[in-house]
Amino acid sequence: MRIILLGPPGAGKGTQAKKIINEFNIPHISTGDIFRKNISERTEIGVRAKAFIDNGQLVPDDITIDICLERLTYKDCENGFLLDGFPRTVPQADALQEFLSKRELSLDAAINIVVPEDVLKRRLSGRRVCVHCGASFNIETNPPKLEGKCDFCSSDLIQRSDDSLETVNERLEVYKRQTQPIIDYYSNKGLLKNIDGYQDIAKVFEDICKTLGRDPK
Ligand code: ADP
Ligand code: ADP
Ligand code: ZN
């Protein structure tokens, strides 16, 4: 399966990604996670990306396309992958298309998680993420079993600096301006699957599995 996950910040892409990769046994490729890892390791890419991420802007296409397409050449992507947070612009979608076409590969689905904007803002303000594995929790809607600790690896949970109200508003505007157009792009290719993301996490996952033609385990 080669799947991409679309949806605005806070739609639940990361949360569903963790479940999808278990079900389909494919690697989870999150450009946001790759950037955060580079930032924490203070690499050159990390330093360049940080300035954009902190302001709620997208990282420029040249950097983002390079790191994502490079990751797709790893051996673990041979049997498929789940892209979470890429593509986010039309040039990124074109670059992915070119990469796949050259290899005579194609996407199976573009899953678009749809959630009302006021719900997104509430979710993002309550989001807490694991410093180690990146898992997302929510102090209101999806609390960890033990306060402040990750269910999966017991590491500390923190609030992402770009989840501040001001940056969230900017990210939602950027989404509408730069990412919304790729919904039409995948719709025109017949790949778009809209999923109602304003349901509990298990139900959203069930709907995603159904749309991919599979009964969840
Ligand atoms: P994204 O990767 O799309 O930005 P996340 O998966 O990090 O989104 O989810 C955003 C926040 O909303 C997190 O705090 C997460 O725990 C919470 N969340 C995710 N899915 C749901 C859902 N279906 N219902 C309620 N809260 C959710
Ligand atoms: P969310 O889904 O909650 O918006 P991500 O972890 O996917 O968060 O992304 C965090 C930030 O990383 C984005 O706001 C953006 O600055 C940068 N980023 C992630 N993916 C991309 C991308 N495909 N293109 C450009 N910037 C990206
Ligand atoms: Zn963890």
Instruction: List, for residues 79-122, the tens digit of each pLDDT value.
Output: 999 999 999 999 999 999 999 999 999 999 999 999 999 999 99
| Ligand 2 atom at minimum distance from 124 CA | 3
Residue 86 counted as domain residue: yes
* Structural domain count of the chain: 1
What confidence score (pLDDT) does residue 214 get?
85
Instruction: List, for residues 156-204, the tens digit of each pLDDT value.
Output: 999 999 999 999 999 999 999 999 999 999 999 999 999 999 999 999 9
Q: What are phi and psi of 130, to 5 degrees?
A: -75, 130
Hey, whose CA ends up nearest to atom 20 of ligand 1? 12
**Which residue among 138, 163, 179, 199 is best mutated to probe the pocket of ligand 1, counting the most ligand atoms within 8 A of its Cβ?**
138
Residue 145 counted as domain residue: no
Residue 23 counted as domain residue: yes
Alpha helices in 103-178 (DSSP H): 117-126, 165-174
* CA gap 171, 194 in Å, rounded: 21
Residue pair 29/82 in contact (Cβ under 8 Å)? The answer is yes
Residue 164 counted as domain residue: no
Angle (CA) 140-145-148 rounded to 5° is 70
Instruction: Answer yes or no: pTM beyond 0.75.
Output: yes
In this structure, the number of other CB atoms found within 10 A of the CB of residue 131 comes to: 13
**Which residue among 136, 168, 174, 198 is best mutated to probe the pocket of ligand 1, counting the most ligand atoms within 8 A of its Cβ?**
136
Residue 216 labelled as part of a binding site: no
Residue 28 counted as domain residue: yes
Instruction: List, for residues 120-145, the tens digit of each pLDDT value.
Output: 999 999 999 999 988 999 999 999 99
| Ligand 2 atom at minimum distance from 87 CA | 23
The verdict on the CB of residue 6 being under 6 Å from ligand 1 is no
Residue 139 counted as domain residue: no
Residue 99 labelled as part of a binding site: no
What confidence score (pLDDT) does residue 190 get?
96
Does 205 have pLDDT greater than 80?
Answer: yes
Residue 126 counted as domain residue: no
What confidence score (pLDDT) does residue 139 get?
96
Residue 133 counted as domain residue: no
**Domain range holding 182?**
2-116+176-211
pLDDT band at 217 (very low <50, low <70, confident <90, very high): low
CATH number where 40 lies: 3.40.50.300
Task: Name the closest ligand to CA 33.
Answer: 2
